[in-house]
Amino acid sequence: MKSPYSTHFDIDAATTYLTTPGSGLLSRETKQWRTQRDQDFHESNTNLREQQGAALDSCRTTLGQFFNCPSSNVFLSSCFSFAFNALLAGLPKHYKVLLLDNDYPSVNFPTILSGFEHRFVNMNEQLEADILDAIATFKPDVFILSIVQYISGLKIDLSFIQELKHQHPELLIIGDGTQFLGTDLFDFNTAGFDAVLSSGYKWLMAGFGNGFILLNDRLKEILYSAIQKDYSYLNNQWMNKSVVQLCFEPGHLDTLSHGTLQQSLMQLQQWDYAATVSYTQDLVAHARIELTNRGLLLDTILNRRPQSNIFNIQIDPKNFQLLLDEGIKCFPRGTGIRVGFHLYNDHADLEKLLHFIDTKAN
């Protein structure tokens, strides 16, 4: 079945685009909006510069509605990494942090570099049980993880996060949503996370230069709490902004980049986001069956649910150039080749990949 969404994307007929885990495609409509917006913005008689605040507020509102988070708790950023470093800087330094071993470097490295006492949980098919064991023994204040792992595609059980928050309400749970948001329905208010941060250039199909943070009220009060207690010394021109907003949004934000994010989210809503998720998950389920039958999945993925949109196919990474020669966009990661299926992909893309594996892979 051809993707009902592929006609909205400019994909060359010879290209099978399976590298959304690296960077997602922008729709034709989003690209057209960007072109017109950029042209209008640089006209001398435009008032778009004066409307910067309103444009960014509108983006926050759209994000809040899309992920069910109050817009007052949505903060914008140029990317995940900048936002995450700002969040770490606002946490009390005595906090103990639980991490996943081999998680995304932009998650683990700055946490370690910030000097927090920390411990790792190994990623395997019993991940959730091992997390509970680590919490019982290490007693962390914060648990930080990528919701979907960038190398393997391992996805945390979101119902486990909800139960974890129920069992340990004082534990702060912070999620990197960059490889997750845009692939599944997500209600921040009920998910059990205290914060979810993301860039927009992968599954949200919004290009580079935009990201965001969703916070709950509790973490919002904890961050930079020492500064928040004595806010009076700040210049009066900033008194309409909270300390948290000043720290997450310290300079000028690019309205073109964040407008692109807003346009992409609005288009997902127009397409019926739940329908796009259902379509893609059907395709992912089919891919999982085919790759399992060929013995090409990691044990950590084969023996657990749920399944993300990412697969690390266990063929020699040396096949990467051969795949590119066939027009199959992918990327070598770990011990295999990483691919991802999004709403612009279809079964023909999967069949082309499988044909390569069956007939040409070394």
pLDDT value of residue 259: 98
Same structural domain, 14 and 63: no
Q: What is the CATH number of the domain that holds 333?
A: 3.90.1150.10
Tokens 């259902």 correspond to 278
The answer to whether 83 and 248 are in contact (CB under 8 A) is: yes
Q: What is the pLDDT of residues 258-286, one digit of tens each?
A: 999 999 999 999 999 999 999 999 999 99
Three-state DSSP at 48 gives coil
Residue 69 domain flag: yes
Q: What is the pLDDT of residues 30-74, one digit of tens each?
A: 999 999 999 999 999 999 999 999 999 999 999 999 999 999 999
Q: What is the pLDDT of residues 316-362, one digit of tens each?
A: 999 999 999 999 999 999 999 999 999 999 999 999 999 999 999 98
Three-state DSSP at 61 gives helix
Q: What is the CATH number of the domain that holds 161?
A: 3.40.640.10
Percent of the chain scoring above 70 in pLDDT: 96
Mean pLDDT, residues 119-135 taken together: 96
Q: What is the pLDDT of residues 222-234, one digit of tens each?
A: 999 877 666 655 5
Which residues span the domain enclosing 333?
Answer: 6-21+272-359
Question: Has this prediction a pTM greater than 0.85?
Answer: yes
Tokens 């648990």 correspond to 143
Which residues are within 8 A (CB) of 100 and not within 5 positions of it... i.e. 6 or more apart? 108, 120, 121, 123, 127, 145, 146, 149
pLDDT at 236 over 70: no
pLDDT at 306 over 80: yes
pLDDT at 237 over 60: no
Mean pLDDT, residues 303-312 taken together: 94
Same structural domain, 206 and 303: no
pLDDT confidence of 235, banded at 50, 70, 90?
A: low
Same structural domain, 251 and 337: no
pLDDT at 249 over 80: yes
Residue 1 domain flag: no
Q: How many domains does the chain have?
A: 2
pLDDT value of residue 286: 98
Which residues are within 8 A (CB) of 311 and not within 5 positions of it... i.e. 6 or more apart? 153, 287, 288, 291, 297, 301, 338, 339, 340
pLDDT at 166 over 90: yes
Same structural domain, 39 and 78: yes
Mean pLDDT, residues 5-26 taken together: 97
CA dihedral sign of residues 59, 64, 20, 348: negative
pLDDT confidence of 239, banded at 50, 70, 90?
A: low
